[in-house]
A = this chain, B = another copy of it.
Amino acid sequence: MRRPIVGVMGPGTGATSADCELAFALGSAIARQGWVLLTGGLACGVMDAASRGARAAGGLTVGILPTSSTDEASNAVDIAIATGLGSGRNQINALSSDVLVACGEGLGTLSEVALALKAGKPVVLLGCGADWECLFHKLATDGLVSSAATPRDACSLVAELLQAHRFA
C-alpha cells in the first residue's frame, strides 16, 4: 500500500515569517508520521519551509512545480515534477493529496482549497483567518473542512481524515 500523501499549501513570496514557522513545524510533523509531503515545490515561502521541515525530519518531499524546468525548485524537494502549467498545477496539488493542509492565506492557496473541496478532498485550515473558515464551511460538504490551531493539532486531524477517507 502506498504511503499517504499530505499536501501543504500556502503563500510563496507573500508568506509571513509566522506562516513559514508553522509550515516548517508541520512539514516535520508530517515526515515523522511517515507520510509523503507534497507542496507547490518552489524555493520560497510555505512550500520551501514545509519541505525543509520534512527534510530535517528525514521525510520524503514532492514538489509540483508551476514551471517547465526544475531550476526554481526548493533544495529540500526530493522529487521535483515540472508541470509547465503555471497555476494550472494547483489542480494537481489538490487531486494528488490525500489530505490538504492550508497554511497561511493567499490567492493561490485559496484556489487550491477550493479545488480540493470541489474534488471531495478533506482540507485542514491552519493559520487561516475566521473568514476563510466561515466561507469554506458554507461552501463545502459537511466534514470536509476542519481547522487546527497548531501543527500538532493539524497532524492529529490529518491522521483522523486519512483513516476516514482513505484507509477506512
Q: A residues touching B (Cβ–Cβ < 8 Å)?
A: 2-3, 5, 36, 60, 62, 64, 68-70, 73, 77-88, 90-92, 95-96, 105-108, 110-111, 114-115, 117-119, 131-132, 134-135, 138-140
Contacts and interface: CB of A to CB of B under 8 A. Distances in A.
Contact of A88 (B5, B69, B88): B88
A107 B114 contact: yes
Contacts of A139: 105-107, 110
Contact of A81 (B81, B86, B87, B107): B81
A90 B115 contact: yes
A85 B78 contact: no
Contacts of A64: 81
Contact of A108 (B77, B82, B114): B114
Contacts of A135: 110, 131-132, 135
Contacts of A110: 110-111, 114, 135, 139
Given A95-B69, A107-B139, A139-B106, A118 B87 contact: yes
B82 A92 contact: yes
A20 B2 CA distance: 23
Nearest to A85: B85
Nearest to A83: B92
- Most central of A3, A115, A118 by chain B CB within 10 Å: A115
Nearest to A63: B2
